[in-house]
Amino acid sequence: MSAAARQMRIRWGGASDRGLRRSENQDAMYADIGLFVVADGMGGHLGGSVASSLAVRTVAANSPSTPDELLAAVRHANQVVLHRSEAHPDLAGMGTTLCAIAVVERDESRVWCLVNVGDSRVYRYQSSELTQMTIDHNFVAEMIRAGDLTIDEAADHPRRNTLTRAIGVEPEVSVDDWILDLTGNDRFLLCTDGVTNELADFEIAEVLDSEQHPSEIARALVRQANDKGGRDNSTALVVDVVIDSVDVGPENPAAVQTQANPDAGGTTKRRSWRRSRSR
């Protein structure tokens, strides 16, 4: 007799642009069936793009399949970027933010693992609610959490882009991580601060509230960031997750099968937005 199992379908799309005021794009991203990474580089004419590209490629090359492996991959990326900057004087001082989500194994189950260093963000859009899943590591965010600065004051603070944590700056890096169940019917957004500095949460939610393919959603977010001023590079990577019940044989009734579907059509329309919560 067959038994019910879950089949996870993932589709994704990304967009990136240098913006209206920058001469080059120092953002980088990676997308594959179970791993999605976004990075925002910093440091000189070449350094930022080198740092973000190195970090993203290093995490991807490690092919993490557990939470510990994903954390190790990010720490390895930190070492790779730091060593490159030390070996090449023209790259001295470079670094990058990095956020990622991955489908990994934990306790014989498959879960999402989220990691973050810096102020690139991961959001989840589920049941018409936008939630910022990651915590920003920058000067004003630290002051807000300490109660020394309001959100309104932070919007135009001169140090709003000063990072307190980054990849490739110090020999060791502290990495935030979270575990999420594979609930299905989620839309994730990974993005750099070129998007979030220009668009408020409610504006991001309005764009995510669409039945369009993730690639169209990502392009719309980047386009709106430019329309609002485009002061920085902007990158958006949108990941849709749907889990269906399927019949499988009795030898593995609890399996979660994963299918990539990056070119499929839209998702179910989500009609309203509720104020985001920070974790």
Q: What is the pLDDT of residues 244-274, one digit of tens each?
A: 866 555 554 344 445 566 643 332 222 222 2
199 DSSP 8-state letter: S
DSSP run (H or E) holding 234: strand 234-248
Helices 67-87, 44-61: axis angle to 10 degrees equals 150
Strand 35-42, strand 98-106: pairing? antiparallel
Mean pLDDT of all residues in 52-65? 97
- Give the pLDDT confidence of 69-121 residue by residue, as tens digits: 999 999 999 999 999 999 999 999 999 999 999 999 999 899 999 999 999 99
Q: Is the pLDDT of residue 123 over 70?
A: yes
pLDDT of 275 reads 26
% of residues, the chain, pLDDT over 70: 78
Q: Is the pLDDT of residue 223 over 80?
A: yes
DSSP run (H or E) holding 195: helix 193-196
pLDDT of 41 reads 97
Helices 214-227, 201-208: axis angle to 10 degrees equals 150
Average per-residue pLDDT in the chain? 85
> What pLDDT band is residue 3 in, cutting at 50, 70 and 90?
low
- What CA–CA distance (Å, rounded) separates 35 from 52? 16
* Structure tokens that stand for 227 in this block: 């329309």
- Give the pLDDT confidence of 138-189 residue by residue, as tens digits: 777 676 666 656 666 556 655 667 799 999 999 999 999 999 998 888 999 9
Domains and CATH numbers, the chain: 3-260 (3.60.40.10)
Cβ neighbours for 36, distance < 8 A, ≥ 6 positions apart: 12, 29, 30, 100, 101, 102, 188, 190, 237, 239
pLDDT of 30 reads 98
Residue 224 to residues 21, 163, 240: CA-CA distances in angstroms?
15, 24, 21
First to last CA, the chain: 43
pLDDT of 175 reads 98
Residue-wise DSSP of 132-179: E-S---BHHHHHHHTTSS-HHHHTT-TTTT-BSS-BTSSSS---EEEE
% of residues, the chain, pLDDT over 90: 71
Give every strand in the sheet of 234-248, ordered side by side: 129-132, 121-126, 186-191, 234-248, 3-17, 256-260
